[in-house]
Amino acid sequence: MANKPMLPELMKTHGVSRRAFMKYCASLTSLMALSPALVPRVAHALETAMRPSVIWLSFQECTGCTESITRSHAPTLEDLIFNSVSLDYHHTLQAASGHAAEAAREQAMKDNYGKYLLIVDGSIPLDNPGYSCIAGISNLDMLKETAAGAAAIVAIGTCAAYGGIPHANPNPTGAVSVSDIIKDKPIINVPGCPPIPVVMTGVLAHFLTFGIPELDELGRPKAFYGESIHDRCYRRPFYDKGKFAETFDDEGARAGWCLYKLGCKGPTTHSACATVKWNNGVSFPIEAGHPCLGCTEPDFWDNGGFYKPLSVPSGDYRKMGVAAVVGGAAVGVASALLAKAGKAKAVQNHETVDAHDLEKSS
Amino acid sequence: MNNPAFDLLMWARGPGFDIALAIFIGGIVLRLTEIIILGRKKDMAPAKGNGFLQGLKTIFSRSVPRKGLIKFAPVTYLGGYIFHLGFFIAFFFFAPHIALIQDAFGISWPAAGRVIIESVTALAVLAVVALTYSRLTDPVRKSLTTFDDYLVLLLSVLPLITGYVAVNKLFGDPTMMLAVHLLSVEALMIAFPFTKLMHAVSFVFARYYNGSIQGRKGAES
Amino acid sequence: MSATLERGLNALREQIDAPVASFFTSCVSCGLCAEACLFYRETEDPQYTPIKKLDLMRRMWSREFTLLGRIGGWLGLTKPITDADLTAWEPLVYDSCTMCGRCTLVCPVGNDLTMMIRKMREGMSASGHGPVELIGAAQRHIDGNSAMGDLSKAIHAQVKNAVADTGIEIEFDKPGVDYMVILSAQEIAEFPDVLGAMARIFKKAGVTWTISSEAFEATNVGIQIGSRDIARTLVQRLVDAAEKLGVKGVISPECGHAYQALRWEGPNLIGRAYNFEVIHIIELLDQLRAQGKLKTKGMNTQKLTFHDPCQINRRGGINKEPRRLMNMVAENFVETEDAGTMNWCCGGGGGVGANERAAPLRNIAFKRKKAQIDKVNPDAIVTMCAYCHHTLDNVLEEFNMDLEVMGLTELVAEYLDDDA
Amino acid sequence: MDCKHSSAKDSPEKDDVFSFVTTGNAIPFLHEIKHALEHLLKTGTESVIDLGAIPFAPGDERILEEILGQGEVDATLTIMGQSHVRETAIPGVWRVDHLDTNGAFQSRFIEITFLPNILKTQPEDAERGLATLVEHLGAIESIGKPQGDT
């Protein structure tokens, strides 16, 4: 199915007008966070792009990422993007099962060797390959095998990108991310738990039109992960004015004040939630009154507690403080007693000063 | 995949803070114990004034400079006040810091806005620059200054600068800068009991003793 | 026995207590004590920064009284105090400090630097680093009855003169009276008029008093050189005499360090409270004034200013009393700048006045006092310390300033209302 | 608590509070529009600004709405959901809002132009239109012929 119909053909068969294509290109450009001046280039790229084969592998995951990307029912941008690719293997979505499913994957790999796009969600267990297998093949083997012929890999969701929840302490399966295993392929990380659907499609659109987007040091497309939630947050003015919700049901919470003190990780979290938002742009967690968990960041699960402000130490420091008081006092008493003993000795050794022995004998 | 900046931040928030706190508190308790246990002899001379009350009063009243002296050491006085006030305001009225205090002690108060926090931070940094300059050039300050003094100035100004950079994202990765900010505070905490930073606690005792000695005699302090 | 380094270090060690530890812990070397110091202000020489004068004591505290310093000592990072160190510090501790106490009042962290100088002198004197003049004075006083030698004859002569002048009987060694009067050697030698002044005032006020022929000298060189042992011996003499006479109180005369010695250090030196009260003459006069027992007539019309002796005001707490008395008798009383608690020292206190080596420095330092006086340009200066009186007289003469200096007691007596 | 939140969101007080929260971006943004308009008049160069790329708080939106307002043209396009193309009270400054079929915003632009391109009929669509028209005419004519024969 790959390399055949291109997007304009698809649109024509759906009875979509050129004006609609213009609207689509404009919105897509906005979605990819590109300048409106690039709309013609996006249009041209879409008109000429080949329809790529996509293999989607799901490892230690919860299917939340797939849920997220398939959430919209209306013919939206996401649909169009997905219609422009050939999803040849996705064990949750595909109709085929068992040997037929695996055969589809192998066929797609063979037909498109070196050209297909590999999408991965979920982490890969290293402690014991048996922890997670598909069709008797361990995740590790399947990833290595499938990655070998991929043009590029998109690690969808925090698990695939950074290990995610399976990787959280104490990481019983020895879960790692795609980039921990595959070193010789371009990897685009699209973290989030799950990622925003339009971000996933935006990344795919970018890959289809302009290839690999510009990535940050954590392998994330800068267009969507370039800025922190905090910098783009509509509640930021309250942070700057020093107005904070103290509990989830106080005046500040009702008035929509900053959620920093309720543990918001916005300042250290890079994601487009605050601008792109969720559920077709309806809202995002902070707008719904909940602090950001920081799910697009590595090890977000181990960041010291979701409701602990960033500035609050994550450990049980009170115990440490009490121990320090006791320890400090003990050492202090010992040291002081030593000093006092020295002084007592000095008092004992006091040689009475007489007016006639104030001069040195020598 | 790991984010070294994030890992460093988590270390600074976790074990790093615990270690720093243990040294900070343990060290302060140690030094204060050393002082208090040393004790002082009971004064046999009949008191003319109330040494205890004047001691307590002096803890606060000595914060006001004695009349006419500011003009002889303007940099030390003004720099000192601006630094201390700036550091105090930035520390106690910046919301993330209040959150820490609230977590530790369960008390909190309204936070100051960004304009105030950043202004006082900038002023405090300038004050440290002026104080350092005076240590390098003024003969009295120069003759008194040891390595300890420069270390203390550096350790006091680093949290201000790193905090300002982290909040304003002036350069570097913000997560990394936040981690660096916490680490700079932890350096300050670790050095605190063993350097002249200790004055921030022991001044209470020094002023009390001074006030009580003078107060017993009915003299001013 | 003789003065040795070990004896000195031992004596210094004995002096370190919680206040000293808290002071050294708190010092941030801001140098503001220098701005308060007479000697730094007039020379602008940083070595006179008060806290620097205490550096040897700080070193001992750090090495022997703190954990970190002790570790530093074991590791050989810090060096023990040597006799050469003490020699180097001698001029700083004795020549450039009158223990005036101004630094104690300006230190932002509240360090009582003056008290520490007093303590440091214990180590200096015990190790043989006291100024020779003070050593001589100590020997004269211990061997005789005054720092100036034997003043027995002198005091009897001065009392006889006062009796002749005033016609009021002054009895030696009279038990059961209200007060035992003691005098500073300076008063006996230079300003004996104070005897007649007291005689007249006390007679009017109905106060009975006597002078002990065994202990009449108020000064205590032990306080100045910094030797508790010597100071104790001298205080003990006064206490014995007063308790033998069974007086209600001892009047501390117009002398700064004598007030410190008997009123504040004395009980701690002998290890117990006295059976009598110690009152400064000016405190007593102000009490009598308040009770209506001291009435004056007429006023001095000269432009008068008042010099606060450091040990009596700043470090003794007698501040308002002399001003109330001044206002009784002085029509044109003008205060100098910094008068009162922050007054500038005359430059002669703390044994500096007796120290020949310190004379050139003392004359430079006096410029501060001179500037303070010049600004007011008075006809005369009133004070309540015979040694301040003595120093002012001498230095004013050296600076060719034609100014009269007078004791407050004598000034009050001059306007005593004999008819009331 | 969910109930409380949704009710708070619907209540007018909440909107009032938010409508005064600004990021301070509105005024510089209006200056950018001014420069673009000057440029349009001088050189004829059109500009498009993506509103999605600028962090706006409700207060900024309020300022923008108050100053730009509603002008003479208000067109609704029905293409994969609606699009609203409105000229603002500042002629030459247009707002182009693309909505999806659920009525949610897809993208929002400010265009500084004499006529937004999307209002024009595109050649491809016109071609398709021509083809359709020809088809229709063919159908009508094929019906008409036998009638004429009769």
pLDDT confidence of residue B150: 96
Fold of D2-119: Ribosomal Protein S8; Chain: A, domain 1 (3.30.1370)
Residues A64-105 pLDDT 10s: 998 888 765 444 656 666 677 788 888 888 888 888 899 999
A169 touches chain C (CB under 8 A): no
Spell out the residues 6+ positions from residue C213 whose beta carbon is closer than 8 angstroms to its own. C152, C155, C156, C172, C173
Same domain for A106 and A220, yes or no, is: yes
**DSSP bridge partners of C196:** none
Q: Environment class of residue C161 by beta-carbon count within 10 Å: exposed (0-12), middle (13-18) or buried (19+)?
A: middle
**Structure-block tokens of residue C84:** 């050469």
Among chain A residues, the shortest Cα distance to B102 is held by A312
- Please report, for chain A, how many H helices and E strands are present, in that order: 17, 9
- What are the residues whose beta carbons fall under 8 Å from the beta carbon of B75, sequence distance 6 or more? B130, B131, B133, B134, B138
Cα–Cα distance between D146 and A356 in angstroms, integer? 153
Cα A339 from Cα C16, distance rounded (Å):
10
Using the Cα atoms of residue D33, residue D34, residue D38 and residue D39 in order, give the sign of their dihedral: negative
Whether residues C128 and A359 touch (CB distance < 8 A) is answered with yes
Residues of chain D predicted below pLDDT 70: 1-21, 23, 55, 144-150
What is the C-alpha end-to-end distance of chain D, expressed in Å? 79
Domain count, chain A: 3
How many Cβ contacts (< 8 angstroms) between chains A and B? 162
In this structure, which amino acid lies at residue C254?
A: E
Q: Is residue C230 over pLDDT 90?
A: yes
Clarify whether residues A282 and A342 are in a common domain: no
Separation CA C256–CA C319 (nearest Å): 13
Closest CA in chain C for residue A337: C65
Note whether A212 and A65 are same-domain residues: yes
| Residues A268, B100: C-beta atoms closer than 8 Å | no
Q: What percent of chain C has pLDDT over 70?
A: 100
Residue A329 contacts C where some CB pair is shorter than 8 Å: no
Distance of CA D35 to the CA centre of its chain: 21
- Judged by a CB distance cut-off of 8 A, whether residue C34 touches chain B is yes
Please indicate whether residue B73 or residue D1 has the higher confidence score (pLDDT). B73
Q: Which of A164, A197, A224 is the last residue of a domain?
A: A224
The answer to whether residue B169 neighbours chain A at the CB level (below 8 Å) is yes
Structural domains of chain B in order of their starting residue, each with its CATH number: 4-216 (1.20.950)
pLDDT of the residue at C323: 96
Which positions in chain B touch A302 (Cβ < 8 Å)? 10
To the nearest whole angstrom, how far is the Cα of C346 from the nearest Cα of chain A? 27
> In whole angstroms, what is the distance from residue C92 CA to residue C104 CA?
17
- Å from C20 to nearest chain B CA? 8
| Interface touch B146/C29, C-beta < 8 Å | yes
User: Is some CB atom of chain D closer than 8 A to the CB atom of A247?
Assistant: no
CA distance C365 to C306: 19
**CATH number for the domain that contains residue A149:** 3.40.50.700
Cα(C108)–Cα(C34) distance, integer angstroms:
12
Q: Which of residues 37-66 of C touch A (CB under 8 A)?
A: 64-66
**pLDDT under 50: residue ranges of chain A:** 1-3, 5, 73-75
Judge if A238 and A216 occupy the same domain: no
Map residue A82 onto helix, strand or coil: helix
**Inter-residue contact B42 to B208 (CB < 8 Å):** no
Helix (H, G, I), strand (E, B) or coil at D105: strand
**C180 vs A: CB within 8 A:** no
Residue A353 falls inside a structural domain: no
- Please tell me whether residues A237 and A220 are part of one structural domain: no
Our CA angle for C167, C172, C176, nearest 5°, is: 105
Q: What is the mean pLDDT of residues B23-37?
A: 95
| Residues B156, A217: Cα–Cα separation, whole Å | 32
The rounded radius of gyration (Å) of the Cα atoms in chain A is: 30
> A55 in a domain, yes or no?
yes
Same domain (yes/no): A179, A289: no
Domain boundaries, chain D: 2-119, 120-150
A206 and A237, same domain (yes or no) = no
Q: What is the pLDDT of residue D12?
A: 42
Instruction: Tell me the shortest Cα–Cα distance from D104 to chain A, in angstroms.
Output: 6
Are B45 and B100 within 8 A, CB to CB?
A: no
Residues C303 and C283: their CA atoms lie apart, in Å, by 24
Distance, CA of C79 to CA of C28 (rounded, Å): 22
Average pLDDT over chain B, rounded to an integer: 93
Q: Which of A199, A224, A249 is the last residue of a domain?
A: A224
Question: Within a domain: residue A170?
Answer: yes
DSSP per residue, chain B: ---HHHHHHHHHHTHHHHHHHHHHHHHHHHHHHHHHHH--PPP-SPPSS-HHHHHHHHHHHTTSPPTT-GGGSHHHHHHHHHHHHHHHHHHHHSHHHHHHHHHHHS---PPPPHHHHHHHHHHHHHHHHHHHHHHHH-HHHHHH--HHHHHHHHHHHHHHHHHHHHHHT-SS-HHHHHHHHHHHHHHHHHHGGGSGGGHHHHHHHHHHHHHHHHHHTT---
On whether any CB of chain B is under 8 Å from the CB of C169, the answer is no
Average pLDDT over residues C158-166: 94
On chain C, the residues whose CB falls within 8 A of the CB of B78 are: none
Domain, as residue range, for A233: 229-302
State yes or no: pLDDT of B192 exceeds 70: yes
- Does residue A95 sit in the same domain as residue A242? no
Q: Tokens 């026995």, residue? A: C1
User: What mean pLDDT comes out for the span C136-160?
Assistant: 93
Is residue A216 domain-shared with residue A269, that is, in the same domain?
A: no
Residue C355: pLDDT band (50, 70, 90) is: very high
Cα angle: C220, vertex C224, C225; to 5 degrees: 110
